[in-house]
Structure 1
Amino acid sequence: MNLSASPIQSVDHAVLWLLAGFSTITWALGLLKGVQFVRLKRQDRRFLKRFWSASNLPAAAELVDEAPGAAARVAQAGFAALHTAAAPAGDLSHAIDHQDRLERALRQQVQRERRGLESGLAALASIGSTAPFIGLFGTVWGIMKALDGIAAAGSSSLETVAGPIGAALIATGFGIAVAVPAVLVYNYFLRRLKLTAADLDDFAHDFYSLAQKSSFQVIAHPAPRPAAVQRVREAF
């Protein structure tokens, strides 16, 4: 049993190729998620440093427009909600209390950021949970073939049995070797996700407190982009 054989040659070869594909996906996702979290952390650190250095909330609003990062998008959603609440009443979206509007806009933006960070983790969890069973299936199939070969040979000596059975066990070992990194990578980025979501929740709470301190007054700068205002309105 080896990877040099064609995946369509037999079921056990197909199992090994499938596990090799799972291993490639695991390491690719690990690399992509690592880059995503490192870049996001750098963007949020840069934005929060500038945000908390502002003299007041209107001054901080000038730093938000087009700023990258999850924290910046949370702030954009908050400023868009404040602008929408202060706009002239014209539809049912303006009938909602501005405090509830701001709180809901911040909460929904944090959830959107969380969903974006969760992408790919389900695949890692699936690989980690199914790879050992796929490997076991390959082992069972290989043992069945080995037993058929032993029966056809009419010999049950150790030399006849050990070779085919040992080759069949490779699939189980390969499945475990694929599953362990997938589980470790999944747990690591799940932890990073929870920490990032907690930081965004803290920032959203602080933003709400700042807006409450300023009596939810209109933020004159920057004028929210129409798309941002539309997303806030669609949320209600």
Structure 2
Amino acid sequence: MGGLQAYWAQSDGIGRSVTLLLLAMSIGAWVLILWRGWLLRRVLADLPQAMAAFWQAGSLAEGQQRLAGLDREQLLSGMVSAALQAPATGTLQASGSPEAQLTRRLRDSLHSGLTRLQQGQVFLASVGATAPFVGLFGTVWGIYHALLGIAGAGNLAIDQIAGPVGEALVMTAAGLAVAIPAVLAYNLFGKWLGQCEAELEGFAHDLREIQLGADARRA
């Protein structure tokens, strides 16, 4: 903390802007890490229970009712609603067969749910990729600014250089401290998202087969 305070005290507008940018990136990354970690863990806990309750129902309508209290992110409920939706008429969408329309509705619902779950991944990847370079830029600029100040003073000694340069190097460490949690969270969330996607795709496939079978029996 002392190094950051010294860097801030001796820095100019550009150096302080770099410091504030790293601070904003860190705050944004940690907010996303905590929020998305909680959200994805809840989804991973909900999906097995909700699907087990759904498959014990006697009909799609009853299954949808069972999902009401278990599918808190409405991922499965959205696909069931899409399966129960009546085929479109009078549009280009209606030109496809009922099977094709059902597939399209389930696909759109699946993609909508996955898009919601993936929110924030791009930001975490961007922070993980750019924060070290932002910190390195802060270090380079801090060294340059410190050397200008030393040269202007007229007296050049190793102890006068070591202090400012060491304080500037803190920015490289700060950039790594911002980037590492973002990269680790991005990789972990990617694994969890893959698990959710596999579960939802399997559910959509089974739901499509059930609905097609029900339509065939009614026909």
Q: TM over 0.5, yes or no?
A: yes
Tell me if 1:76 matches 2:81.
yes
Deviation at 1:9, TM superposition (A): 5.2
For 2:132 and 2:17, locate their aligned partners in 1 and report how far apart those are by CA, in whole Å.
15
Q: Can you list the C-alpha shifts for 1:191-227, whole angstroms capped at 9, x where unaligned?
A: 2112111111111111112123334566xxxxxxxxx
- Kindly indicate whether the alpha-carbon contact (under 8 Å) linking 1:51 and 1:63 is maintained by their aligned counterparts in 2: yes
Asked if structure 1 preserves the Cα contact closer than 8 Å seen for 2:15 and 2:141, the reply is yes
Pairwise CA RMSD of aligned residues?
A: 2.6
> Could you say which residue in structure 1 is the equivalent of 2:181?
181
Distance in 2, Cα, partners of 1:174 & 1:115: 31
Structure with greater helix percent:
2
Residue 164 of structure 1 and its aligned partner are, at CA, apart by 1.0
Alpha carbons of 1:26 and 1:144: their partners in 2 closer, same or farther (altered >3 Å)? Answer: same
Alignment of 1:62-211 (within 5 A): 63=66, 68=72, 69-80=74-85, 83-84=86-87, 93-211=93-211
Q: Does 1:20 align with 2:23?
A: yes
- Equivalents in 2 of 1:161, 1:61: separation in Å? 70
How far 1:155 moved relative to its partner?
3.4
Say whether the 8 Å CA contact 2:64–2:77 is kept in structure 1. Answer: no
Call closer, same or farther: CA 1:210–1:164 in 2, change over 3 Å.
same
Following superposition, the deviation at residue 61 of structure 1 comes to: 5.0
Deviation for aligned residue 1:150 = 2.3
Distance 1:92 1:16 in 2: 54
Partner of 1:34: 37
Structure 1: runs of 5 or more not aligned: 219-236
Count of aligned pairs between the two proteins: 213
Identical residues among aligned pairs (%) = 34
Secondary structure of the residue aligned to 1:155 is: coil
Post-superposition offset of 1:91: 5.3
Query: Residues 216 and 60 of structure 1: is their aligned pair in 2 closer, same or farther, counting only changes over 3 Å?
Result: farther
Could you report, residue by residue, the CA deviation over 1:18-51 in whole angstroms, capped at 9, with x for unpaired residues?
Answer: 2122111111101110121123233333321211
In structure 1, the residue matched to 2:4 is 2
Q: Which runs of 5+ in 2 are unaligned?
A: none
> Following TM superposition, where does structure 1 have runs of at least 4 consecutive aligned residues deviating by more than 6 angstroms?
none
TM-score (norm 1): 0.79
Q: Deviations over 1:80-103 (max 9, x none)?
A: 1xx336xxx555544320110111
Seen in structure 2, the aligned counterparts of structure 1 residues 207 and 16 have a Cα distance that, compared at 3 Å, is same
Provide the secondary structure at the position in 2 that maps to 1:60.
helix
Change (3 A) 1:61 1:175: closer
**d(CA) in 2 for partners of 1:196 and 1:14?**
39
